Chain A
Amino acid sequence: MSTMTSSPSIKSLYQALDFERELDLDDPADRHLYVAGLHAEDGLSPVDELRANIEMAARPGTWLFTGHRGVGKSTELRRMAHELRAAGGFYVVVADMEKRINLAEPVKTETLLVSLAATLADQVDHDLGGNRAKGHYAGRLWEWLTRTEINLTVLEVKFGESGFTAQLRENPSFRAEVQRALEASRGTWFEQVKSFIKEVADDVRLQRGAATQVVLVLDSLERLRVSGTNAQACYEAIVQTFDVNGQFLKLDHVHAVYSVPPFLPFLVPRIGGYFGVEVCKLPHVKVFSTPDLSQGAQDVMPNPVGINGMVQSASKRYPPIEELIPRPMLDRLALASSGSVRDFFRLVKSVCTKAQVKQPVLPLQDDSLPLLAEQALRDEMPLADEDLKRLARVRVSHGVALDTMDNLHKVARLFDGGLILSYRNGVGDWCEVQLLLHDQIAPFLPEAAAARV
């Protein structure tokens, strides 16, 4: 034990817990930070199932992937891409769609598809150096577009073909103009895009082998916004894109994995059936044991496997962590995070800054700083009575407490804020309210239980 006079290790621990950067398992430095099986139940991970589906598919398919903020979707999608590449026979492109389209605007099929095609073109240009005979794919995409009957003359004058994908990526006005131009001739144009994608996939196979399958992973679409003044328009646009226009998302010649909003299965219950697969859902880390789902609200019981995984996610980033924060305190913080890796890191970082201010003996001797960190996280979740009542219903029912579709945005808001978390128990999903809110919700439980009866 030593008295802390300076704190390079506390600072190093803090800086090691960067929760904004997803892990890229193609990078050896990131590979040893990855905790295997963090989201698995009985050794079965939803992402492994998705990968197996892609590997075994007789023909390119359309796959839907979802999960709430902070569960680690981006890392898991990159891990799947890494494993497909490692298995051989797959050319995988992972695109962060947040950098391609404005997720706050109502999504449009046209914009989504043209951005998807542009993403593929850019990556293939980068990896394969374009097609020697026909030039760069980004330029060829522009050619495909202007060859149609779509009036893109104005855009051509403005930007030409050289910066098309860059403009599409970075210039919202340009994107809007493309959108307007494409809306007028949907049927024709969709076929053109599919043909373009086929041509690119054929070229990939020419270079990488005839059996090579192209997989396009479109990350971040789950962040499509459904709040604010245009929430209803956003909902309708999502339904239009993934349901009414769902046929256009099937690309025929490449596997397409869409990371979709977690509420999509509620908006479009038949969505899985439409695409021929169940939506792959990445749950939160299961730090609670599965309760008896028929017995209403219960005290949560720690699940050692999930908690151990959470602690590992920090200790792999900073191995001497337990010299600063003893294991029981880390377990406590993992439980308090309720299975959100991001909140777990946030709690540990909060303990770090509090330790630096208070200069206690290290490793920490009591729970006073974890308690303060938990209090700070709890304070960041101010709730109205209506929310507390809804959360009480979640605790009682272990479901999402969605009474009518009109209230979907209210439920989505609680999920988005990390107040409701979802878990998997092998036979289905169940939900629980953030542990730090349980005391606050307790007065509303009798009413919620009575309503359930």
Chain B
Amino acid sequence: MSIALSPDDAWREMRLHIEWATGFTLCFVFSDSPALSRALLQRLDDAWRFRTAPVTVIEPSDPATAAVDMFEGLVQHQQRLPGVLVPAWLQLTTHAPDVAWDQARSECLGRLNEGRAWLVSDLARPLVVCLPIAWQAQVAPAAPDLWHLRVFTVTLAASEVADKVPGLDAVVGGPDASSLSLLGSPQRIVAPHRWLVEEARNAWASRPEASQQRGLAAALGDLSAAQLDAGDPEGACASARESLALRRQLREALGESPQVLRDLSISLNNVGAAEAQAGRGEAALAAYRESLALRRQLREALGESPQVLRDLSVSLDNVGAAEAQAGRDEAALAAYRESLALSRQLREALGESPQVLRDLSVSLNKVGAAEAQAGRGEAALAAYRESLALRRQLREALGESPQVLDDLAVSLERMAVADDADMVTRQAAASEAVAIRERLVAAMPDSPWHAERLAVARSVAAAPSGGAADGQ
């Protein structure tokens, strides 16, 4: 069985296969998690939206016409930007495994196999095919000619493990989450999750077992995240609270096993995120604190595995943000410092993966902001410097996606307003941040968020001593 990677680790290598393509290039992504495949798609879309044009996402909605719809989508993609190597993403994972959809996947692969010559000579641009993990062993027999064309395959880590990795939380819910919605309406993003929830609900109704209940709770958690992406915090709250109730029932029924406790902490974080976005800070803080307590309990029980440390770091960041929001700066700083220590511990344990480095840079910025708030300018500057260096390192490793550039601009803006930095450093940082933000606005002129960030960056550059940078 292949090793599952996070979207960031998968992206580091996949992007090169696509960037270096001179014609048709085929990548296979295997994933059972809509959130993970969407996170990888987000990286791809970010990179190409910035470079040339957004990727074309082909996501058949009807198994009966999937193969035809797929080919029509590819033909339209080919005609959309003649001569430009914009990738297409064929999403065949959205719908849960069933006979009709498995047949549709088989037909899609069969049609692609038949169209091998057309793909190579006419489509002549990168194609990413995203399939459920169970299809790993089925592609070669179903589409042998297609399989021989592949340059890269990757399996993404399972949802319940990786969805809560701090870096991914930040990316999926981060400032660029809106860009994915450009690929389709918000309903298109939420709808498959609703469908999955209904499927899980039916499965639990027909087989009222713990495993089915856990499946429904997980599906509700994914739906909640999608609803947040789509700007529906109340819907997200309802989904997250239903998931939480199911997991509390499971704790009653099954006892406090590590899995049960971790599931419960995930649901609490989902509730916290939804409550925070809905503007109910104290409710968010209560949920985050309960989650943090569970994760401390898990560290006691399981020891300091990377997963445990990541989980704890996420909860500490959540609590820190909620404390800061409530005006309790020292409590926020304490939480952020503890989270930073864990992030450093994770770098020691896991090495310098993009995910680890980004997590660390986020922690550093949070600590820096909290130190600055407490009037400790020198400590703030040191944290900002370290974060900036990490984000430059990430640009080298990941390329210039909007996410990477936005992160870099945030760090530069922090430097530009750091009281203890010299004026030359601050002015240079402010100018560089403006230049980056101008590029982002040029690439995404319809994004109000980026326009707003540019205005802030310009105001900081105009008076670097008096501006106020925000963000992570």
Contact = CB atoms under 8 A, between A and B. Distances in A.
Interface of A: 11, 14-15, 18, 20, 69-70, 96, 98-99, 102-104, 223, 225, 227-228, 342, 346, 349-350, 352-354, 356-357, 375-376, 379-384, 413, 416-418
A211 B389 CA distance: 75
A11 B114 contact: no
Contact of A379 (B106, B120, B153, B397): B153
Interface stretch (B13-21, B32-40, B249-257, B321-329): B13-21
Given A228-B110, A342-B148, 9 more contacts: A18-B23, A69-B144, A104-B113, A223-B144, A223-B145, A227-B142, A413-B140, A413-B141, A413-B144
Interface string B140-172: 111011011111110100000000000000000
Contacts of A70: 148
Nearest to A375: B3
A98 B72 CA distance: 20
Nearest to A382: B137
B149 A20 contact: yes
A219 B448 CA distance: 55
Nearest to A12: B20
B355 interface: no
Given A102-B114, A413-B141, A346 B16 contact: no
A216 B446 CA distance: 57
B20 A14 contact: yes
B144 A227 contact: yes
B126 to A, nearest CB: 13
Given A382-B137, A417-B140, A104 B110 contact: yes
B455 interface: no
Contacts, number: 80
Contacts of A380: 2, 150, 153
Contacts of B384: none
Interface residues of B, number: 34
B22 A15 contact: yes
B136 interface: yes
Contacts of B120: 20
Nearest to B19: A11
Contacts of A356: 16
B112 to A, nearest CB: 10
Interface string B424-442: 0000000000000000000
A417 B141 CA distance: 7
Contact of A98 (B116, B140, B144, B397): B116
B4 to A, nearest CB: 10
A16 B327 CA distance: 59
A140 B13 CA distance: 53
B13 A99 contact: no
Interface in B1-60: 1-3, 12-13, 16-17, 20, 22-24
10 contacts: A14-B16, A98-B117, A227-B144, A346-B150, A353-B20, A380-B153, A381-B140, A384-B137, A413-B141, A417-B144
Nearest to B118: A99
Contact of B397 (A14, A357, A375): A357
A357 B151 contact: no
B142 to A, nearest CB: 7
A10 to B, nearest CB: 9
A190 B36 CA distance: 57
Contacts of B155: 379
Which 4 A-B residue pairs are closest in the complex by CB-CB distance? A379-B2, A416-B144, A417-B140, A382-B137
A5 B396 CA distance: 10
A383 B17 CA distance: 26
B125 to A, nearest CB: 13
A383 B142 CA distance: 15
> Which of A15, A98, A346 has the most chain B CB atoms inside 10 A of its CB?
A98
Contact of B13 (A11, A18, A96, A353): A353
A227 B148 contact: no
A99 B117 contact: yes
A379 B133 CA distance: 13
Contact of A354 (B13, B23, B116): B13
A379 B110 contact: no
> Which of B22, B113, B141 has the most chain A CB atoms inside 10 A of its CB?
B141
Interface in B343-389: none
B145 A69 contact: yes
Contacts of B397: 357
Given A11-B20, A98-B117, A357-B397, A382 B1 contact: yes
A104 B13 contact: no
B106 A15 contact: no
A349 to B, nearest CB: 6
Interface string B115-131: 01100100000000000
A18 B114 contact: no
B148 A103 contact: no
> Which of A225, A375, A413 has the most chain B CB atoms inside 10 A of its CB?
A225
A416 B140 contact: yes
Nearest to A355: B16
Contacts of A99: 117
Interface in B439-457: none
A346 B151 contact: yes
Contacts of B114: 102-104
A228 B106 contact: yes
Contacts of B23: 18, 20
Nearest to A417: B140
B16 A357 contact: yes
A372 to B, nearest CB: 10
Contacts of B117: 96, 98-99
B409 to A, nearest CB: 23
A223 B144 CA distance: 9
A376 B3 CA distance: 9
A403 to B, nearest CB: 19
A305 to B, nearest CB: 25
Nearest to B138: A382
Nearest to B9: A357
A281 B114 CA distance: 24
